Amino acid sequence: MPCVPSRATCFTSASPRIFPNWSIPGSGWPTWPYYDTLTGLPNRVLFQDRLNQALVQARRDKDHFALLLADLDNFKTVNDTLGHAAGDDLLVEVAKRLKASVREVDTVARIGGDEFALILTRIQGPEDAAKVAAHVVEALARSYRVQGLDITGGASLGVTFWPGDGDSADALLKNADVAMYRAKERGRNNYQFFTSDMADGVVDAMRIESGLRQAIEAGELAMYYQPQVSSDGRAVSAEALMRWHSRELGWVPPSRFIPIAERTGLIASLGDFALWQACRQCLAWRERLAPDFRIAVNLSAAQFKHEGLVERVATVLHEFNLPGSALELEITESVIMEDVARGQSVLAGLKQLGCKLAIDDFGTGYSSLAYLKRFSVDVLKIDKSFIDGLDEASDDVSVAEAIVSLARSLGLDVVAEGVETAAQLEVLRRIVGDYGYLAQGYFYSPPVPAPEFEQRFPAFRQLRLVGEHA
């Protein structure tokens, strides 16, 4: 088997060989081909050799060992907001905490950007691995002091145990990766042992994540547009909704790829893409369709938390020479309420740009009159779940009436999303009365590509007549 330096001595199934103590000048760490220059931990090359050795030893001695993979939660956010130097400081501190969490005979390695691996040798059973995994999760969840700021930590761990979870080093590593993805699906900052039923769903999620990383550059993502129709029958705006047609996976519904993008941090890149594309399209439609046309774009939690959000929006508006009024930004209640003070500041900054601000999925979260008064919002969007039950016998009628009454008292616009039938539209009209509203949904049109939207725009201008005669 291959042999690489392990401290000063490398043990093989034959006999030990002493290697020269090569080192990085000034670091005191062994030679760079086998150790990470930032943390001083074994790198992937040395880790792979240690894993192979652990497997040989366990087979020979009929022993047990465990493999733990740890992936840091929200590391990309630290890099993007504070810079790579802060990210490096965080990685060094993580390495220290990992080393302090295991025995001297165990291996802690950095095998990727923010991915670490631990090999626990000569343990009694899975319960020993569980104790270490729980300790690691707790250690990495404690806050970090980086560049004078307290940063919330966390990691997702996947655990495999030998024998039982793989008959080779590659299988153990692959299955630990699968378990790690399951930990991320369970909300992050936890550990999961591999089980055979994980493989199918997690492998599918891994394929989606891998595809998403290439989707923007490959031209696989596109924005579709759904008209928002006023109570007097004019299509005055549209909501931009992302769609993904993968060359490998085919059509992937947003319900599958958006949660994965949120868990992995890719949602920030997708959000930037959506913002840029929507503004580009709005400029074209203001020139060709209507001079006051507006496009609504969803802001993800990751975008909203980013320190440079207001500046980013201002830059995109300036790039396309658009007024802020051309853009409506939709934020969910829960995102704003995670940090009320900061949320208020960000919304005020976006408002200064002239953007319209909408509370998306209103009625499903806090729905607080107090915070609506504090925040500079313009629009309440009635969630589709209430529109679905909009008939004479439904309690959702009372909910919709309450939301409209609240909007009226605060001078806010109302948008009803998910209108699919003439009956729903008729009840909505009676509830709103002469106050006015916007409605969107499959009753009018599904989300369609920009060229189709533009082609159908003259018909969208007559949607009031369609609704009245449906």
> Based on the domain organization, do 309 and 432 belong to the same domain?
yes
Those residues whose C-beta lies under 8 Å from the C-beta of residue 463, and which sit 6 or more positions away, are 227, 229, 233, 235, 444
pLDDT at 463: 52
* Confidence at residue 461, expressed as pLDDT on a 0 to 100 scale: 63
Does the pLDDT value for residue 28 go beyond 50?
yes
Is the domain of 82 the same as that of 217?
no
* HEC-encoded secondary structure of 315-350: HHHHHCCCCHHHEEEEEEHHHHHCCHHHHHHHHHHH
**With 0-12 CB in 10 A as exposed, 13-18 as middle and 19+ as buried, what is 411?**
exposed
- Asked whether residue 361 falls in the same domain as residue 278, the answer is yes
C-beta of residue 295 within 8 angstroms of C-beta of residue 327: yes
Q: Please give the backbone phi and psi of residue 85, each rounded to the nearest 5 degrees, phi first.
A: -65, -40
pLDDT for 198: 81
Between residues 34 and 187, which one has the greater pLDDT?
34
Assigned domain for 96 exists:
yes
Spatial distance between the Cα atoms of 267 and 275, rounded to a whole number of angstroms:
12
Peptide bond into 163 cis (omega under 30): yes
Domain boundary among the residues 196, 229, 245 is at 196
Where among 171, 196, 221 does a domain terminate?
Answer: 196
- Three-state DSSP class for residue 395: coil
pLDDT at 16 over 50: no
Section 31-49 average pLDDT: 89
Question: What is the spatial distance between Cα 142 and Cα 153, in angstroms, rounded to a whole number?
Answer: 6
The CATH number of whichever domain residue 187 belongs to comes to 3.30.70.270
Q: Are residues 162 and 60 located together in one domain of the fold?
A: yes
Question: 3 in a domain, yes or no?
Answer: no
Q: What pLDDT, on the 0 to 100 scale, is given for residue 334?
A: 73
Task: State the DSSP string of 10-48.
Answer: E--SS--EE----B-TTT--B-TTTB-TTT--B-HHHHH
Residues β-bridged to residue 35: 42
> What sign results for the dihedral spanned by CA atoms 173, 177, 178, 183?
positive
Check residue 340 and give its pLDDT.
77
Q: 170 and 286 share a domain?
A: no
Domain contains 1: no
Terminal CA-CA length for the chain: 75
> Of 259 and 220, which is predicted with more confidence?
220
Q: How many structural domains are present in the chain?
A: 2
- From the list 364, 357, 385, the residue with the least C-alpha distance to 441 is 385
pLDDT at 328 over 80: yes
How far is the C-alpha of 255 from the C-alpha of 274, rounded, in Å?
A: 16
Please choose, from the candidates 199, 286, 280, 192, the residue with its C-alpha nearest in 3D space to the C-alpha of residue 237: 286
Kindly report whether the global pTM for this prediction surpasses the value 0.75.
Answer: no
Q: Is residue 18 located within the same domain as residue 80?
A: yes
Residue 364 pLDDT > 80: no
Res 221: pLDDT: 97
Using CA atoms of 118, 122, 126, 132 in order, give the dihedral in degrees to the nearest 10.
-40
Q: Identify whether 355 is part of a domain.
A: yes
> 259 or 351: which carries more pLDDT confidence?
351
Between 216 and 326, name the one with better pLDDT.
326
- For residue 465, name the pLDDT band (cuts at 50, 70, 90): very low
With a pLDDT cut of 70, the percent of the chain lying above it is 87
Look up residue 68 and give its amino acid. L
Instruction: Write the pLDDT tens digit of every residue in 118-135.
Output: 999 999 989 999 999 999
252 compared with 394, residue with greater pLDDT: 252
pLDDT exceeds 80 at position 432: yes
Quick one: average pLDDT of 182-191? 85
State the residue range of the domain holding 455. Answer: 210-469
Q: Is there a single domain that holds both residue 229 and residue 136?
A: no
Q: Is residue 203 part of a domain?
A: no
Tens-digit pLDDT profile for residues 55-87: 999 999 999 999 999 999 878 778 766 788 989
And the tokens for 414? 């109302």
The pLDDT assigned to 33 comes to 79
- Residue 253 contacts by C-beta under 8 Å, 6 or more apart in sequence? none
Residue 286 backbone phi and psi in degrees, to 5: -65, -30
CATH number of the domain bearing residue 319: 3.20.20.450
Is 23 among the domain residues? yes
Q: 180 Cβ partners below 8 Å, 6+ apart?
A: 69, 70, 71, 156, 157, 158, 192
Distance from C-alpha of 403 to C-alpha of 113, rounded to nearest angstrom: 47
pLDDT in tens, 87-105: 999 999 999 999 999 999 9
**413 or 4: which leads in pLDDT:** 413
Cα separation, 172 vs 51, whole angstroms: 9
pLDDT reported for residue 462: 59
What's the pLDDT tens digit per position in 308-323?
899 999 999 999 999 9
CA distances from 237 to 152, 282, 350 (A): 39, 9, 19
Instruction: Please name every residue paired with 226 in a beta bridge, in sequence order, or none if there are none.
Output: 239
Q: Is the pLDDT of residue 24 over 60?
A: no
Q: Comparing 127-131, 221-225, 263-267, which segment has the lowest mean pLDDT?
A: 263-267
Query: Are the CB atoms for 142 and 177 separated by under 8 Å?
Result: no
Name the average pLDDT for the chain: 85
Query: Looking at the domain assignment, is residue 155 inside a domain?
Result: yes
364 shares its domain with 226: yes
Rank 19-23, 70-74, 224-228, 410-414 by mean pLDDT and report only the highest.
Answer: 224-228
DSSP codes joined into one string, 64-129: -EEEEEEEETTHHHHHHHH-HHHHHHHHHHHHHHHHHTS-TTSEEEE-SSSEEEEEEES-SSHHHH
What is the predicted pLDDT for the residue at 150?
Answer: 79
pLDDT (mean) for 138-153: 86
Ranking 25-39, 83-97, 273-287, 290-304 by mean pLDDT, the lowest is 25-39
Question: Which H or E element spans position 228?
Answer: strand 221-230
Whether residues 222 and 184 share a domain: the answer is: no
User: What pLDDT score does 206 carry?
Assistant: 81
User: Residues 90, 151: contact at Cβ < 8 Å?
Assistant: yes
342 shares a domain with 229? yes
pLDDT for 17 equals 32
How far, in Å, CA of 22 to CA of 8, rounded? 9
Residue 403: its H or E element: helix 396-410
- 398 part of a folded domain: yes
Assign 369 a pLDDT band (cuts: 50, 70, 90): low
Domain boundary among 136, 165, 196: 196
Residues 191 and 214 in one domain: no
CA atoms within 13 A on the CB side of 446: 4
Report in angstroms the alpha-carbon separations of 392 from 186, 385, 424. Answer: 39, 16, 10
Q: Quick one: 299 and 344 in the same domain? A: yes
